[in-house]
Amino acid sequence: MKRIVTSTLLVAAVAAIPTVAFSLTDAEKAAAAASWSTHCVRCHTLDGSGSSTLGQKLKLKDYTKAEAQASFTDEEALKAIKEGVTNSAGKKVMSPYAEKLSDQESKDLVAFIRTLKK
Ligand code: HEC
């Protein structure tokens, strides 16, 4: 009987875990924050709101907002970081980072972006 209760609790616990593809330890979060500062803040700003003059010109999404966070999957964000972003007019608006950042660093940045939501 005890075994049945334990396994039922385990199933419930696993089901309660949200489907987040990438996650961060404290050390990884610090490293990702440093990488964000080095490579991304110029456009996306420190808080991820993209509220600078350049950010507004680029029409950046505001990552502090839930709607912006919901508008892309982790996979789409990873692809954007690795391959860069081209706008609807065919202009490259964000450079690819596949050669500057490792796969893990890019994944950690995706997880970091998720922490910017207020
Ligand atoms: C030259 C300015 C610039 C820099 C630097 C930059 N980005 Fe971007 N980024 C953009 C623009 C422009 C877009 C497209 C508009 C948008 O999605 O907000 C974009 C889009 C994205 C997206 C896609 C979001 C979606 O909706 O699919 C992600 C994720 C992203 N950037 C992350 C980063 C990360 C991480 C870095 C640093 C490694 C970075 N960006 C550096 C300008 C920049």
Mean pLDDT of 26-33: 95
Q: Which of 43, 47, 87 to mutate to test the pocket of ligand 1 (most atoms within 8 A of CB)?
A: 43
Domains and CATH numbers, the chain: 24-115 (1.10.760.10)
How far does residue 17's CA lie from ligand 1's centre (Å)?
Answer: 28
Please name which of 112, 17, 15 lies closest in space to residue 69, comparing C-alpha atoms: 112
- pLDDT averaged over every residue in the chain: 89
Instruction: Give per-residue pLDDT as tens, 45-102.
Output: 999 999 999 999 999 999 999 999 999 999 999 999 999 999 999 999 999 999 999 9
How far does residue 69's CA lie from ligand 1's centre (Å)?
Answer: 13
Structural contact between residues 32 and 112, judged by C-beta atoms closer than 8 angstroms = yes
